Structure 1
Amino acid sequence: MAYEFVCESEAKRYRSDCSNVLKETCELLKEKGISAQFSLVGSGARNMITRNGDGPYDLDYNLLVMKADNEYRDPRLLKDTIRNALNKAVGGKFFSDAQDSTSCLTALLHFKDTPNVEFSFDVAITTKNKNGNYMRLIHNKNVYALGLDQYTWNEVPRSHQVKDKADELKEAGLWQEVRDRYLEMKNMYLSWQDCNHPSFVVYVEAVNEVYNRYFNRGGGCSVQSIF
Structure 2
Amino acid sequence: MAYEFVRESEAKQYRSDCSYVLKETCELLKKKGISAQFSLVGSGARNMITRDGNGPYDLDYNLLVMKADDEYRDPRLLKDTIRNALNKAVGGKFFSDAQDSTSCLTALLHFKDTPNVEFSFDVAIIKKNPNGNYMRLVHNKPWNQYTWNEVPRSHQVKDRADDIKEEGLWQEVRDKYLEKKNMYLSWQDHNHPSFVVYVEAVNEVYNRYFNRGGGYSVQSIF
> Taking structure 1 as the reference length, what is the TM-score of the superposition?
0.92
Residue of structure 2 in register with 1:34 after alignment = 34
- CA offsets per residue over residues 87-115 of structure 1, 9 Å max, x none? 00001322000000001000011343654
**Aligned residues of 1:21 and 1:89 also touching (Cα < 8 A):** yes
| RMSD (CA atoms) | 3.1
Alignment deviations for residues 132-154 of structure 1 (CA, whole Å, 9 cap, x no partner): 1100000011xxxxxxx100000
2:108–2:117 Cα contact (<8 Å) kept: yes
Q: Does the Cα contact within 8 Å between 2:207 and 2:220 map onto a contact in 1?
A: no
Q: Distance in 1 between matches of 2:220 and 2:190?
A: 38
Q: Give 1:226 deviation, angstroms.
A: 21
Does the 8 Å contact 2:137/2:146 carry over to 1?
yes
Counterpart secondary structure, 1:161: helix
- Which stretch shows the higher mean deviation, 39-48 or 29-38? 39-48
Specify the alignment match of 1:113 in structure 2. 113
- Tell me: CA distance 1:210–1:224, structure 2 relative to 1, closer, same or farther (3 Å): closer
Using the TM superposition, give the Cα deviation of residue 224 of structure 1 relative to its aligned residue in structure 2, in angstroms: 16
Would the alpha carbon gap of residues 218 and 44 (structure 1) be closer, same or farther in structure 2, given more than 3 Å must change? closer
Q: Does 1:178 align with 2:166?
A: no
Q: SS at 2:183's partner residue?
A: helix
Over 3 Å counting, the alpha-carbon distance change for 1:62 and 1:225 in structure 2 is closer
Matches of 2:104 and 2:43 in 1, distance apart?
A: 16
Distance of 2:97 and 2:190 partners within structure 1 = 22
Q: Is the 8 A contact 2:211 2:219 kept in 1?
A: no
Structure 1 unaligned blocks of 5 or more? 142-148
For residues 44 and 113 of structure 1, the distance between their equivalents in structure 2, rounded to whole angstroms, comes to 36
For 1:115 and 1:44, locate their aligned partners in 2 and report how far apart those are by CA, in whole Å: 34
Identity %: 91
Any gaps of 5 or more consecutive residues in structure 2? none
Q: Is the 8 A contact 1:99 1:107 kept in 2?
A: yes
1:225/1:74 Cα in 2 relative to 1: closer, same or farther (>3 Å)?
A: closer
Tell me, in whole angstroms, the C-alpha distance in 1 between the residues paired with 2:86 and 2:22: 7
Which residue is 2:195 aligned to? 200
Provide the secondary structure at the position in 2 that maps to 1:184. helix
Give 1:190 deviation, angstroms: 1.1
- Partners of 1:44 and 1:60 within 8 A in 2: no
1:77 is aligned to 77
C-alpha distance in 2, partners of 1:107/1:45?
23
TM-score (norm 2): 0.94
Equivalent-residue separation in structure 1 for 2:52 and 2:158 (angstroms): 26
Contact residue 102 and residue 138 of structure 2 kept, 8 A: yes
Deviation at 1:116, TM superposition (A): 2.1
Residue 187 of structure 1 deviates from its aligned partner by 0.9
Whether the 8 Å contact between 1:98 and 1:105 is mirrored in structure 2 is yes
Q: Distance in 2 between matches of 1:42 and 1:110?
A: 25
Using a 3 Å threshold, how does the CA distance of structure 1 residues 55 and 44 change in structure 2: closer, same or farther?
Answer: farther
SS of corresponding position for 2:115: strand
For the 8 Å contact 1:29–1:82, the answer to whether it is kept is yes
Once the two structures are overlaid, the 10-residue window that deviates more, 95-104 or 107-116, is 107-116
- How many correspondences in the alignment? 220
The CA distance in 1 between the partners of 2:193 and 2:63, in whole Å, is 14
Q: Structure 1 residues 191 and 44, CA, compared in 2 at 3 Å: closer, same or farther?
A: farther
Give the SS at the match of 1:115. Answer: coil
* Contact 1:40-1:59 within 8 A present in 2 as well: yes
